[in-house]
Amino acid sequence: MKKLTTLLFVLVFASTMAFAQSNEATVDQEGDNQDSYVEQVGSTNEADVDQFTNNSGAQESDVLQFGTGNIATVSQSQTGGGDNFLNSAYIEQNGNSNEATQTQNAPSSNSGQSVWGLQDGSENTLSQSTGSGYTLSLTAEQYGSSNIATQDASGSHNQGEVYQDGESNEADQNLSGSNNGYMGDIILIDQNGIGNYASQDFTGHGSSHSNNAEVIQLGDDNEAWQLGNGRNLNATVSQEGMGNWSNQEQWGNGHSSSVTQTGDNNTADVMQSSGGGI
């Protein structure tokens, strides 16, 4: 009953204050099978969603904001274990200078956690993290210039994807659990534009350990950085344009490195070492 009351409050709040500015929407849910939806239209709005359960059932959160200078924060925490709960969080922001943060935590026995963020505008920031669990999925999409996307995952069997279209964007991925890119999944950064920066740091261990990381950049004056530590490290960089730079460093065993650059005045550095691997 608590969940229903909270959800109805958010829906009423969003519909009655949809076109105003400087609003605050707060959702606090505890129990099984949680579901929340927040929609805000205007500038300098703030949405805060906090979901917690120590039992069972999936958590789902959707936040939509249309305007400038908005802030959205979603936190999902699940202490129960032993099931595929498919917790999911989604934030969509349309406008400039917006901030989005999504955090998930679940025991290592829980699977199917996913976060997805979409921002359309410039000077936006998106931060996503999954602190535990397995078969974790992180997706970030940004359209515009001077945007920043950050992804962190420390569970196992992680999959992270960042898509950016515009200029002077930055994407950072740090996946420290085991079996990143498991069973052909790719840790991916795909950027289209000029002066973009991509960084991938993937480390971990596991009996069937596999790290598959790829950076794709289309445009001029882009930078790609890949650092892998473990076993079966598969790192790929593909750059098309002029004045691009890539650097790959791999530590451990079973390395595979590939750099493809098309255009003039490009630079590629590759370093592989069997020492220090996990």
Residues 102-119 pLDDT 10s: 998 877 666 778 899 999
pLDDT at site 138: 92
Alpha helix stretches (DSSP H) within the chain: 2-16
Amino acid 11: pLDDT: 36
Q: Beta-carbon neighbour count of residue 105 at 10 Å?
A: 20
Q: Which two tokens stand for residue 28?
A: 């606090």
Q: Range with the lowest mean pLDDT among 157-166, 216-225, 248-257, 263-272?
A: 248-257
What SS3 state is found at 204?
coil
The pTM is what? 0.87
Sequence spans of domains, the chain: 30-273
Least confident of 20-24, 189-193, 242-246: 20-24
Closest CA to 50 of 36, 39, 33: 36
Query: What Cα–Cα distance (Å) separates residue 106 from each residue in 129, 202, 207?
Result: 12, 21, 22
